[in-house]
């Protein structure tokens, strides 16, 4: 048994990080240190069970990317995604993602008829992951045939194995001018003003964390399009970030890291609610439009989300046939 007071000097046998972790967990849960293999197996199994559903989503995206590469090669396509020949590939991926959402989360989308036929800026609350927005985009395409461009973090460009999938679902990495141009061409565009900050540091109370971000409102005014508010019930119960812990928050803000530890993938009930459009008003200011949009999303949250969120309750809602009115 290793004493807590025993010091490890450079002359002693080195202790691996895994051994330190096992020792610490032994102290916490009282397992005997003389069985490292058993403890290591316990740790691996526990982490696999805990994080597997979250990793499953990533693997599904990679699977979709592989399917698209096969589809591209079989049909001799290039990267011109406006080509109608890509439509079946886009529908294939949308059905895979939609099926996953339906099977794992019982996913539903309500109010899709509120989306206008012309261009619009879709503004949504960003959970610990944007998986709900992927479900929404895919269901939108299946039901209406419309593609929604999506403003995403530039860091996603660096993730291998996802690029064709992101391109086909029309990820946008550019700035304000590109967004305005997309909308002026009559397209839908989705954006989460809270971005990574809202993803990392919001919690089960679903606080809208936009800070001083007003760019999306300026885009809507410049493009003269309405804003469509969007909120997904239980997204914080399905996937959670550890950004609210004081050390991780301090560490992240000090070093400006583009990620925080996350966990979850719990099969909670997810419902996306689409609010009434906020029409274009030539006389409204950017600040007023930001506030109006924020109030609209908070109204959707207050109507459809029980606060604070609770994982067990969200799981039980999978079996609840009753739901709040749209």
Q: Nearest CA to 294 among 109, 133, 124, 112?
A: 124
Q: Which residues contact 11 (CB under 8 A, 6 or more apart)?
A: none
126 is catalytic: yes
Task: Report the distance separating Cα 308 and Cα 321, nearest Å.
Answer: 21
CA distance 151 to 97: 19
Whole-angstrom Cα distance, residue 28 to residue 31? 8
**What CA dihedral angle connects 262, 165, 185 and 294, to 10 degrees?**
-10
Distance (Å, whole) CA 138 – CA 165: 12
SS3 123: strand
Q: Cα separation of 269 and 253, whole Å?
A: 32
Cα dihedral 307→313→314→319 (10° resolution): -140
- DSSP line for 19-78: HHHHHHHHHHH---TT-HHHHHHHHHHHHHHHHHHHHHHHHHHHHHHHHHHHHHHHTT--
Cα separation, 233 vs 237, in Å, equals 9
**Choosing from 126, 134, 304, 322, which is the catalytic residue?**
126
CA 137/CA 62 separation, integer angstroms:
18
- Taking alpha carbons only, the member of 296, 122, 251, 144 closest to residue 193 is 122
> Strands 227-233 and 239-241, how do they pair?
unpaired
Which residues are identified as catalytic?
Answer: 126
């Amino acid at each position: 048994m290793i004493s807590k007071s025993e010091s490890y000097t450079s002359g002693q046998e080195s202790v691996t990080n895994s051994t330190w972790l096992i020792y610490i967990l032994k102290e916490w849960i009282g397992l005997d240190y003389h069985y490292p293999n058993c403890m290591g197996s316990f740790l691996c199994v526990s982490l696999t069970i805990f994080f597997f559903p979250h990793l499953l989503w990533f693997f599904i995206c990679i699977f979709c990317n592989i399917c698209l590469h096969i589809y591209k090669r079989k049909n001799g396509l290039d990267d011109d995604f406006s080509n109608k020949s890509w439509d079946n590939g886009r529908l294939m991926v949308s059905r895979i993602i939609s099926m996953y959402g339906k099977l794992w989360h019982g996913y539903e989308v309500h109010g899709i008829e509120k989306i206008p036929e012309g261009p619009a800026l879709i503004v949504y609350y960003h959970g610990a992951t944007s998986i709900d927005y992927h479900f929404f985009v895919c269901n939108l395409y299946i039901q209406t045939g419309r593609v929604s461009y999506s403003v995403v973090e530039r860091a996603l460009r660096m993730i291998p194995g996802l690029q064709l999938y992101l391109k086909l679902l029309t990820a946008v990495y550019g700035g304000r001018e590109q967004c305005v141009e997309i909308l002026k061409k009559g397209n839908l565009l989705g954006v989460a003003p809270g971005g990574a900050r809202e993803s990392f540091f919001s919690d089960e109370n679903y606080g809208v964390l936009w800070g001083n971000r007003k760019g999306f409102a300026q885009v809507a005014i410049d493009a003269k399009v309405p804003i469509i508010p969007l909120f997904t019930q239980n997204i914080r119960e399905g996937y959670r970030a550890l950004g609210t812990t004081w050390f991780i928050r301090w560490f992240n803000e000090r070093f400006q890291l583009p990620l925080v530890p996350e966990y979850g993938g719990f099969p909670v009930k997810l419902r996306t609610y689409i609010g009434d459009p906020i029409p274009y008003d030539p006389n409204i200011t950017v600040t007023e439009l930001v506030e109006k949009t924020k109030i609209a999303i908070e109204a959707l949250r207050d109507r459809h989300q029980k606060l604070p969120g609770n994982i067990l309750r969200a799981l039980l809602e999978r079996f609840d046939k009753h739901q709040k009115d749209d």
